[in-house]
A and B are shown apart, each in its own frame.
Chain A
Amino acid sequence: MSETTSTSKTYPLGLSEHGFQYVKIWGLLLGLLVVSVVGPMIGIRWLTLVTAFGIAFVKAFIVATRFMHINLERKFVTYMVAGMLAFMLVMVAGISPDVLKHEGHHWVNKAANDAVDRGEKEGAAHAGEHEGAAEKPEAPAAEHH
């Protein structure tokens, strides 16, 4: 059987062909990193979500497939990893109603509401101090009933 024509291409820094491809993928990842830092600076909420978190998923996908080569592994490895991610999602889905909501029908999460109030007051006071405001905001009230 005849061999394919070898072009004997040389790559910088003594890299192999694969090595050179990896460098290109690294360059792409760095480009995405720049976008994920610069995007949120514009200050548009949806753009922040897309550039910071959307791009994190893209970067993760590239690392998993191009560096970890999960797509070249036996299928059950992908299922194993996806299964664990599914467990995580089940946990988040199960707990999130309790954590995200601080009140509902016939119940109030007073500790969480107090924590929000306290944090808002402390944060505003701290921000005021940093801005050198002459008028000092009132001290944080940590009320517990």
Chain B
Amino acid sequence: MIRPIATTREATGIPTGRLAVWWVIASEIVIFGGLLGSYLMHRLGHPEWAYQSVHTNTAAGAFNTFVLLTSSLFAVLAHDAAEHKDGKKAAKYLMITCLGGLTFLCVKGAEWTHEIREGFTLTSNTFWSFYYTAAGLHGIHVIAGMIIMLFVAADAAKGKELQRVENIGIYWHFVDLVWIFLFPLLYIAK
């Protein structure tokens, strides 16, 4: 069987597929880092944002942190199952991870609906511009991760391409990691 180059071949000591994921993460650090760095600087320079940030829902943010940490647990359990060549179990854990992502998005959707109804929109204040941009960009990454995970899980269930379980797991943990910083910045620093 002819295998694609970017799967298990390695020229750097790391399988090419996994190295690619690390490069994606490196570029994502610049994207999210730039955004969060800008937010932090503006937040410190604009004390009046405290009047706006007080309206974010800390309980919803904390619950979503719990959801993402739990989904990360299942992603790493999927990796562990793949290491033991148990594709079916890995697929099952990946599906639970996806469910975590879906829960996260549902909570975010409910939160945004409430905030928009209260009159806090993307254009109402620079704080809310940052809030929707950062959380929205993060949400897009959650959706992308879930879509890729479904494909990986479908293959893993057949015992195929099990190395991809680890790759998507690394990406998912990074998405979790970004949220770990977004949570205190947007929900706790009132």
Contact = CB atoms under 8 A, between A and B. Distances in A.
A116 B48 contact: yes
Contact of A36 (B12, B22, B84, B184): B184
A92 B173 contact: no
Which residue among B38, B48, B83 has the maximum number of chain A CB atoms within 10 Å of its CB? B48
B76 A33 contact: no
Contact of A26 (B19, B34, B69): B69
B66 A80 contact: no
A123 B51 contact: yes
Contacts of B156: none
A132 B4 CA distance: 66
B62 A119 contact: no
B70 interface: yes
A47 B94 CA distance: 37
A99 interface: yes
Interface stretch (B98-106, B146-154, B175-183): B175-183
Interface in A3-42: 15-16, 18-19, 22-23, 26, 29-30, 33, 36-37, 40
Contacts of B83: 18
A121 B173 CA distance: 41
B37 interface: yes
Contacts of B110: none
B42 A119 contact: no
Contact of A67 (B29, B30, B52, B76): B76
Contacts of A141: none
Interface in B92-150: 125-126
A51 to B, nearest CB: 9
B57 to A, nearest CB: 12
B77 interface: yes
Contacts of A112: 45-46
Interface in B19-67: 19, 22-23, 25-27, 29-30, 33-34, 37-38, 40-42, 44-52, 58, 62, 65-66
Interface of B: 12-14, 19, 22-23, 25-27, 29-30, 33-34, 37-38, 40-42, 44-52, 58, 62, 65-66, 69-70, 72-73, 75-77, 80, 83-84, 125-126, 169-170, 173-174, 176-177, 180-181, 183-184, 188-190
Interface of A: 15-16, 18-19, 22-23, 26, 29-30, 33, 36-37, 40, 48, 52-53, 56, 59-60, 63-64, 67-68, 73-74, 76-77, 80-81, 83-85, 87-88, 91-92, 95-96, 99-102, 112, 115-116, 118-120, 122-124, 126-127
Given A87-B33, A123-B52, 19 more contacts: A16-B80, A36-B183, A60-B181, A63-B72, A63-B176, A67-B176, A68-B173, A81-B29, A83-B26, A84-B33, A85-B29, A88-B34, A91-B33, A95-B37, A119-B48, A119-B49, A120-B47, A122-B48, A123-B51
Pairs of residues from A and B, 8 with the lowest C-beta to C-beta distance, nearest first: A123-B51, A119-B48, A88-B33, A52-B184, A84-B29, A26-B73, A99-B41, A92-B37
